[in-house]
Amino acid sequence: MKRPNKKETSKPAEIRLNRFVANAGVCSRREADNLIAAGKIKVNGKVVSEMGYKVKKTDTVEYKGKKLKSETHQYVLLNKPRGFVTTTKDPHAKRTVMELVEKACEERIYPVGRLDKETTGLLLFTNDGETAKKLTHPSHKVKKIYQVELDKPITKADFDSILKGIELDDGPAVVNEMAVLGEDSKVLGVEIHIGRNRIVRRIFEHLGYEVKKLDRVMFASLTKKNLPRGKYRHLSPKEVMGLKGIK
């Protein structure tokens, strides 16, 4: 009996409808679920309200009578200035990072992780959900390097304590590498792989220091080279492949 050929038996690639709608730039994946549940999305002319419904590339998906098409993935790197909140929506924030990249592309992009309002440096934006998830999930241990300026010189005892690991309210905080950059011992370079909220500031505050300036100078394999404060650039194909190759 002849075995069926793999090419003959393989099914066309399918993706979840909510992901297709989100990739088309209409809204987030969670918001897409709400649109589907409300019966506002049509597939091949019929309303689909089933959660988890999958579509093929050959299917026609419509929202408000307009045919949707999956977007091209975009990757935008911003050198964030102080005073901007990392959020897509915040009615109380005067300035958000989205203002700084609003003209970067037609697609709807989102920040990967976050930097607090007073922290400067590298912030990546993309509409590639899979890569964004990989870059923020703790299991991938993505490298982040910060330049930290303290209100007073760090002591050798505190320096050693940080490298051994500090216990915070939400668990241990491990610094992978640290170096003193200034002669007065107030400026440090810190490499860290964990990404909890305000983690670098909290490590130093735990030991009685005030962080005067905090600048992220490296994220994954990306650096601030030739990227002025407040400006953005699109990643090169080589840089994108580097991010996608993170294990």
The distance from CA 233 to its chain's CA centroid, rounded to whole angstroms, is: 15
Backbone φ and ψ of 118, nearest 5°? -95, -5
Contact 154, 185 (CB under 8 A): yes
| 26 three-class SS | coil
Of these residues, 116, 160, 184, 215, which one is catalytic? 116
158 is catalytic: no
How far is it, in rounded angstroms, from Cα 68 to Cα 26? 9
Shortest CA distance to 144 belongs to which of 187, 98, 182, 113? 113
| E strand or H helix that includes residue 164 | helix 156-164
Per-residue burial over 162-194, b = 16 or more CB atoms within 10 Å of its CB, e = otherwise: beeebeeeeeebebeebeeeeeeebbbebebeb
User: Given CA atoms 217, 219, 225, 231 in this order, what sign does their dihedral have?
Assistant: negative
User: Which amino acids are annotated catalytic?
Assistant: 116
